[in-house]
Structures are given as C-alpha cells and as structure tokens.
Structure 1
C-alpha cells in the first residue's frame, strides 16, 4: 500500500494569532483554516528559538539548536545530521523543497560553496543546480524577502531571465505610493502579484504536485514562504485589502518595558536598512525596534500589510489544496502549516523580533490534517517544533528518529491529554554575550534567565497575563517561584552560552 504524501507548509515570522482559526478577527485565512477543519489545531505550539535559521533547523532535525549546531543566523547546518527530508528520501519518497530554506548563511564565503549564499550565485551556470540538498532530491530556492529576493537563488535567476523589467519593481522607489519616512521598510510593492515570489513558490510546488501525484512513489514537499517577514511590502491587491484604520491596536501596558532587562531600552534605527552588509558592524539578530519614534499611522499600515502578506500566502495555500484535489491525492496526504517563529508587530512597544522570548515570538500556528486525524480536533497541550520530525515519522509508520522531541500521535489520537509539563527555549546572541537567555514555559508560567547577566530576569503569570505585559521578576514575593523554575532549567537545559559551530557570516 502506498504511504501517504507529506506537504509541509511554512511561513516566516508569523505569530500564533495571525490566522482566523486561531482567533484573529481581521484575517480571512479560509484555506489554512480548511486544513485545520480537516484535522487538528495546536493552540500551545512553540519554537525553542525565536530566530529564523535555528528554528528551521529544529523543524528539520527535531533537535535543540545546541544539539544541531545552528545556534544563530550566520551558521550552517551540518548536512550529515539526520533530518525529516533525509528520512523520507530513505523511505522511498520523492522529496522537493521550494522557497526559503535558510540552512546556510547568506554571507558565507565563496570557498565554502554553499548554495544558500550570495557568493554561490555569482558563478556562471549556478541556476542549473537544483540539488540534492539536505535530503531533498531537488530544490527551487528563494533567498531573502521583498527586494532582497532578487539578488540570488532560483527565483532571482528566473526573474532576471524571464521578466527582467520586474526586478526594479521590487525596490521601494517603484512603489505606487510614497514610502513611510519613519519606518523605511513599509511600502506597496509594484510587482505584479502573479510574478511575486509567493506566487512563484506556489507555481513550482503545483508543478511538482501535478507531476509527482501521478507516480507510484509517495512524495514529501516542503513549501516555504519568505513572508510575512519584514519588510512590510506586499504587492497589489494585497497591500490594499486591509484598511490601516481598522487594524487591531498593538497591546502596550504603561511602564512594562521599564520592568524588563535594560537592553530593551535600546533598539535598532527604524530608518536604517534592516540587513547587514559584508564588513558592516554586527547588529543583534532580528533587528528589534522600539516603536516610540514610529507614528501610529505607519505602524497601522505595517500591520495592515502584514495581514495582506498573510492573505497572499493563504490564497497560495488554496491553490496547493486545489492541485492536490485535482490529482486525487488530497485525502491521501498529510498537510502541515506552521511558521518558524513569530513577530512582535507593535506589542510591548516593539517591532520585528530579537532576544526577548516573548510569546508573540515563540508561539506559532500549527495545523495538521491527514489520514486518521479526526476533523476539528483542538489541542491545548504544550507542543514544540522539536516534535515535528518524530510525529511525521510516526504518522507515516517510519522508524522513530532520535530527537529532543516527542511523538505527538498519541495526543492527536486522543490517547493522552498532555505530552510534557514544560517547554524550553534558548537564545544565543550575535553581538552581546549578556543577551544569552534561557526560558522555561508551563501552562501557568514563563520564566527567563540571563546566565551572563544574573540581575536580569523575566517571570510572567500566564493565567493572569497571557500575553506577557507585566514582568514579575522584580517582585520579591515571587523569588521562590523563579528559583524553582530555574532549578528545572538547571536539570533539563543547563546553561551553555558558548557554542563551537563556526560563524560564516550574517544571515
């Protein structure tokens, strides 16, 4: 009997509450909601790291960043480590990766010969390479977001070859409206939507589905969209779908940042380009911004554009579902939708992402449907990206991999109500060793410590303050609670601020 197919869909920088199925009253994510309606929605799903590359490597390997080695952006994943796509390939699956993978740094030197680096794409004939790569038989890469996506990768090569006039339309100067002056990464893209990388990714994925769905062997497909990552620059009509004056207002409690570690009093410059060029002074990962100097109007436009990018992804997901149905494999496939990490989007007076392990960054959507998964299942257990490799292997009847995660099949089947008491997170900084932090999360508490700066700490009562707006760490009466959670961290994830994997460049 032919095994079920796997379609793993990933967004970049999408928080848990971005979808209508997870409570967003502005969003209209009908197609992602269809996956949820056909299967299970996980309402307490977290990543152990709030930055792109470490989280993506965890999704693939089921390991903490300290174990898979991709501990910060600018480091490469070891392709000899077992991962989900290698496991599928070894089990006889045809495997394909389309979009943003981010297993290697963008600025890796040319001598490292890394396909996800800019240097690799300066070589003649590089666009003819399509893999194999990290267990994928073939890949079609998109590298970067907005105008950065035109610099390198298969999409950039395709665009320059077939539609060279569109390359400049990605630039903010081509925007049909003026660019925000107080946040330079907010504009309306002039790129035709059918030529945008979100559509191109869907096109490549559909080509694979139409071809492979008719074959005897099962397939595994990773579809990875670079959005809704900043810059906030969707094309029309998506940049105009949501009116800024109707967007939800970011949640900020007066005085909350004064109770947080002192580094949150700093932040990036909103008028600065949010990328690090080769040779530029290092800046912290995520380019965290305070929104003090951004107008309410500009911030509302950024939020509206984020919803527009999510809508464009949802429309692309609808096309994928239609293609699966057209070739007759929709009911014989596992579909998974998630994101690598979240986005602050103005909450706490902060934008983008960075060192603080707020819920808006660590909690992400996860919906999963497929054979044997009861429609309309809602799960409140603590789950993690660490669990995805083991769970997919279990659902497919493949040998259990050795990971840091847990097989969620008993949870999905209703045999258990919970799979763990605690989740753990860890952030390794790029620039300032004081920012190294470790977190422990239960259904009641989130505690974060900074081993290199013991005076800093974060403690939130999630029963009274679910979105983490009032740090209780300064309260002496709760010192015993903080010490108890810290002791669990000592046992389960002792501090490891120094990592040995080689830094090859930013992004």
Structure 2
C-alpha cells in the first residue's frame, strides 16, 4: 500500500491578541463560538508565549524557530533575510503546496521602491507588481495585505482589489467618515463605515476559502491565514462595532501608583505619545518613534477605554466568524479529518492593564502571553499547562509531520500533542530590541513562578514579579531588599544562558 498522505496544515494568526480574549480561555464576555469549537476538539495551550512582543520579530521567530538575534529581524523596519530557511521551506521540501493570505510583515511596510519588497507599499507602484503572486519566503503563492485599519488600503493585493471592486470605499476606513462621532479623548476608537463585506478581514477569509476550493486531497497543503486585527486602532465595522456593551466588558487590571516602581521610561515616553496621534502617524509618518506606541490611560475617560475594549472584542468576534467560514469550507472539501489546524497570535495588547495601552519595551505578560490552539490528526483534546513558545513551533511541526529536522533555537513540544500531561519548558527567554531609545533594550527570563527582566544598558532599571503570588504583575520586587539573593541568581542565569545582544539584527530600512 502507498504511504498515507501527510496531513494538511492551516496556521491561523491574528495580530495583537491577548491570550485571555477567547471564550475557551476564560473570557466571560467575548463570543468566539467557532474558535471555542475548534478548542473543544483540540489542545488548548494555557501557557504559550512569544519571545518578542513586537510584530515582525515575533512572526519571524515563529516561522524560523530562531530568536530575533539569530534570524536578524530584531525590530520593525528590518527585513527578514530571504535566504533564511523557514517552516514553509521545510514543508515545500516535503511536497506541500504553500499559500498565505493576509498580513505577513516580514519586510518593512515603508521600505523604499529600490528594495523591491512585496511586503512594502512602494513595491505596488512598480511594474513588476503587476500580476505578482509569489514566490515569497517559501510560499508558492500569496494574497498580501499590508498594514491595518486606515493604512491597509495603500499597497498589496487587498488594496488593489478594493480599488477595483469599490473605488471610493478606501475613504470609509477613515475616522472622519465613522458611523458615529469618535470620542474626543481617544482618537483611535471609532466605528468604521467600511461595509463588512469589503473589510480586509472578510477579504482574507474569502481568499483562504478560494484556496481551499482548489484542493482535492491529491497533495498536502500549508495555508497561512493572517488577520491584521485586533491590532489598534480600535475601529471595527458594523455590526461588529456594536456587538458589545462597553459597560459590560471587564475592567482593566491595575493598582494605584504601580508604575512608580517600574523603569522610568514608561512614564517619560508617555509625554511623547500623549502629544501625538497614532492615526496621524499611520497616515503621514514623521520621525521614528519607539515601537509599540505604549501610552498610559490617564488621559482617557473610563467610557472611552471601555469602548476600545468593546471594539477589540468586536474585532475578535469578526475574525471568529471568518474562521467559521474557513472551517466550513474545509469540511465541504472533505478535508477536516486530514488537516492539522493551529490558531495563535503574534503578540498581545495591554488594553488598559497597569494603566497602559498598546505595547512597548516592557514585557508584561499581556504582551508575551498569546493563545495557541492545535486540533487535528495526532492531537488529543484537552488543556496543556506546560510552558510553550513560538520559538518551539517549527521544531514541533517538524516532529509531528515527520519532516527532516532542521536546526532551530526551539524545543519540540510534540509529546504534548498526544499526551496532555507531558511537561513543557521550565523557563524561556524573551528579548526586546528598541528602535529609538537604546537603553530600553531588555531581556527576560520567565518560569511558572517568576518573570525577571534586565536592562543591560541601564542598571537603574529592572523588573521582577513573583507570579505565584502576584500573577497580575503589579508589585515590582527588583529593588526589594528581601529579594536580593533571588535577583542575583536570576541575573547570573540570564547573563550566562542568554547573554545580552543589544546590537544584533540587520539594518533598519524604514521606520516600520
């Protein structure tokens, strides 16, 4: 008998989604019936983390299995080397058809036309963009979406499609055309006037379904479906913008004056962010600003912040609806039983916790802790409580799919797929490479009980949280005299096993 065909693989990724923003991970308000159904027949990893809380480094780590210091894309604005082996190359070598639809962010969005990078807006003004669909980083073909919200209509396949389908529709993304007047104190919150059927999330779903319609089971496929939401701005279309009552969303978790014990740049940078607009930056980028655009919530009303949370949940539910369509299409093709499905996000969002929004240098767990669900052949349903990382996914897929083993920095957690009680990692490391303020470079050691962060360029800063007694990370013990010995042990371990590398990475080609 011929050997069985390897399972298909669908990797669904969102952008800036917290681990606790799904029904199946305990959120009491957000409705995610499609993802919850996937979770019910699969493995839910309750302690899955990314080593990099910024978009491009995290995505590149997931695909390469390497820390950013080794794959080179250490900060947004740097390009991932095109010759670097990724999981897509592993799969292609094993006979898989590879396709991606949505946001990739392997190259800078603002890279100049001279670089000829399809992940940049400038490429789409070049003659060679006409009819281009790949290859791209191990993908045979791609349907590219660049950016999010107001910036998603400038370049890429989606922008071209929207111009051809509804030439006037791009302006409907803008806040000045919102369905209601946005709040005066928070310019990133509005109800987008773009019809849901023209929205990029719907287009990505359509392109994924179109790819699946062409699959007949003769050869295995890898499909990457990458949604740009629930990344800020918080601007979903109807009906998703009205799905949740802001008064009913959980309040952010914060303690009065907790930031006073944190590194001083958090409050220092707040003045810069408060004096500028992220939406204006998207529409007309000026001088480089620090990645993540982290800002305190002290200038926002409770109503505006709750509206941002409600809109985030609306974006999550819109994506959930799209995932339902993809799973239904897979079922219609008779391929569900032969397909391994992964759902995750590149990194999280502060969303008001600690009195902060967006993301930034400080590696709070709402930024590092992301969802991971895996369902399909060889996966026993149930929760997994061991620590796993994006760093480990390539090695895990190599094991699970019997692909040739390629070098990674990660550790396969393939035994956990079949056996829910199999242990995960004891510890893992995370790293942040800044764009503008180099002393915010930091390294983190995370275990089940501790989160410890060093700033090698600034000894006056540090973060240390005893997660066993302070799971919300509200009491920074770094300078507490009772924990001097513990701090010294962590410092030695981190410096020995993950030495500082603040200068690592390729050249910056653009602001982002």
TM-score tier after normalising by the smaller chain length: over 0.9
Deviation at 1:107, TM superposition (A): 1.2
Alpha carbons 2:384, 2:421 under 8 Å: kept: no
The match for 1:450 among 450, 455, 461 is: 455
The corresponding residue for 1:120 is 123
SS across alignment from 1:164: coil
Deviation at 1:351, TM superposition (A): 0.3
Tell me if 1:367 matches 2:373.
Answer: yes
The normalised TM-score by structure 2 is: 0.97
List per-residue Cα deviations over 1:26-68 (Å, max 9, x = no partner). 1111111122111101011000000000000001000000010
The corresponding residue for 1:233 is 235
The corresponding residue for 2:321 is 315
The match for 1:476 among 451, 469, 481 is: 481
SS across alignment from 1:348: helix
Are residues 479 and 59 of structure 1, via their aligned partners in 2, closer, same or farther at CA, if it must alter by over 3 Å? same
List per-residue Cα deviations over 1:363-415 (Å, max 9, x = no partner). 0000001112112x211111000111111121111112211111111122228
The match for 1:434 among 432, 439, 443 is: 439
The separation in 1 between residues aligned to 2:201 and 2:283, in whole angstroms, is 25
The corresponding residue for 1:423 is 428
| Aligned positions of 1:336-347 closer than 5 A | 336-347=342-353
Deviation at 1:455, TM superposition (A): 1.3
The separation in 2 between residues aligned to 1:437 and 1:162, in whole angstroms, is 46
Are residues 278 and 296 of structure 1, via their aligned partners in 2, closer, same or farther at CA, if it must alter by over 3 Å? closer
Tell me if 1:153 matches 2:156.
Answer: yes
The separation in 2 between residues aligned to 1:276 and 1:305, in whole angstroms, is 19
The corresponding residue for 1:403 is 408
The match for 1:384 among 368, 382, 389 is: 389
SS across alignment from 2:168: helix
Deviation at 1:230, TM superposition (A): 0.4
| Aligned positions of 1:8-23 closer than 5 A | 8-23=11-26
The match for 2:249 among 247, 250, 265 is: 247
Are residues 500 and 102 of structure 1, via their aligned partners in 2, closer, same or farther at CA, if it must alter by over 3 Å? closer
Listed as ranges, the gaps of 5+ residues in structure 2 are none
The corresponding residue for 1:223 is 225
Q: Superposition RMSD on alpha carbons, in Å? A: 1.3
List per-residue Cα deviations over 1:308-338 (Å, max 9, x = no partner). 0000000001011101100000111000000
Alpha carbons 2:121, 2:154 under 8 Å: kept: yes
Alpha carbons 2:72, 2:506 under 8 Å: kept: yes
The corresponding residue for 1:132 is 135
Listed as ranges, the gaps of 5+ residues in structure 1 are none
The corresponding residue for 1:462 is 467
List per-residue Cα deviations over 1:85-123 (Å, max 9, x = no partner). 111111111100100000000111211111111211122
The separation in 1 between residues aligned to 2:425 and 2:137, in whole angstroms, is 30
The corresponding residue for 1:165 is 168
Q: Which runs of 4+ in 1 moved over 4 A?
A: 276-279
Tell me if 1:45 matches 2:48.
Answer: yes
The corresponding residue for 1:201 is 204
Deviation at 1:482, TM superposition (A): 1.1
| Aligned positions of 1:481-500 closer than 5 A | 481-500=486-505
Deviation at 1:269, TM superposition (A): 2.1
Alpha carbons 1:63, 1:404 under 8 Å: kept: yes
The match for 2:88 among 85, 89, 103 is: 85
Are residues 111 and 242 of structure 1, via their aligned partners in 2, closer, same or farther at CA, if it must alter by over 3 Å? same
The separation in 2 between residues aligned to 1:323 and 1:16, in whole angstroms, is 26
SS across alignment from 2:224: strand
SS across alignment from 1:357: coil
